Amino acid sequence: MKIPKFRFPDAILYEDSDFILINKPPFIATLEDRQDPINILATARMYEPGAQVCHRLDKETSGVLAIARHPEAYRHLSIQFENRTVTKIYHAVVDGIHNFDHLLVDRAILKQNDGMVKITREGKEAQTYITTLEAFKNHTLLECRPVTGRMHQIRIHLAWLKAPITGDDLYGGKPFFVSSVKRGFNLKKESEELPLIRRMALHAFSLEFALMNGHKYVAEAPYPKDFQALIHQLAENRR
């Protein structure tokens, strides 16, 4: 995958003297990545030398990411994460048609040595609320509200519901091809169709927490182009 061009100031959704909230692009690691010289933390520190990332998003996941400008701000938000007073909302396109209404998935998660996770009683507690936003022909747009913050939590909980995230090949998601929904879709001769979105269709849509002055703030991140294109194709070809 080609390394995306990334200008940190262009990604900023909100900033004050304590925090910077950005819309993280897909395909960029939050922290140092041996396979990629570019990561959010290093780029943030070119903009703000004392920057600390307050939480993590998977490399493929886009959306709201909170960065503290100084240690006191980092502690302030860390306490909120520990007390579970931060509200995180993710949007995911999943395979299949599903009707969830604030469904609570309460299944413990265990991290394995291969970098994946599994649901098992021996794991750490994990809860996610899931609601259907829109159903399409063979896919569904879901809102996911994780209560806990375990590794791959949303991905494994959705897979457990038999609603794997589209494009998430680690947990059973299938790639999305335009030809699967668009009638009369033709490729050029001797060309191979590529997936419309070359990652799992997961986006951190919003983050709500208390600023240093005590006021609650909600940051919302617009969909990136690939996620927008997926939703557009699903909506255009829902019948």
Digit-coded pLDDT (tens) for 201-224:
999 999 999 999 999 999 999 999
Q: Among the listed ranges 71-75, 152-156, 229-233, 235-239, which one has the minimum average pLDDT value?
A: 235-239
Task: Find which of 69-78, 112-121, 190-199 is predicted with most confidence, using mean pLDDT.
Answer: 69-78
Is 18 a catalytic site residue? no
C-alpha–C-alpha distance, residues 60 and 83, integer Å: 27
**Residues forming beta bridges with residue 117, ordered by sequence position:** 111
* End-to-end Cα spacing for the chain: 33
Architecture of domain 8-236: 2-Layer Sandwich (3.30)
pLDDT of 182:
77
Contacts of residue 118, Cβ cutoff 8 Å, sequence gap at least 6: 109, 110, 112, 156
Written as one string, the DSSP assignment of 15-58 is E-SSEEEEEEPTT-BSS-BTTBS-BHHHHHHHHSTT-EE-S---
pLDDT at 1 over 50: no
pLDDT at 167 over 90: yes
Catalytic residue among 36, 58, 101, 106: 58
Burial of 201 (0-12, 13-18, 19+ CB in 10 A): buried
- pLDDT, tens digit, 9 for 90 and up, residues 113-153: 988 999 999 999 999 999 999 999 999 999 999 999 999 99
Dihedral angle sign, alpha carbons of residues 156, 96, 229, 189 = positive
Q: Helix, strand or coil for residue 226?
A: helix
Name the residue ranges covered by the structural domains of the chain. Answer: 8-236
From the centroid of its chain, how far is CA 92?
8
Q: Is the pTM of this model over 0.85?
A: yes
Tell me what the mean pLDDT of segment 150-168 comes to: 97
**Residue 64, CA distances (Å) to 8, 31, 34 in order:** 13, 15, 23
How many other C-beta atoms can be found within 10 angstroms of the C-beta atom of residue 62?
A: 27
Amino acid symbol at 95: D
Q: Where are the alpha helices (DSSP H) in 7-161?
A: 8-11, 40-47, 71-82, 153-160
Helices (H) and strands (E) in the chain, counts: 5, 12
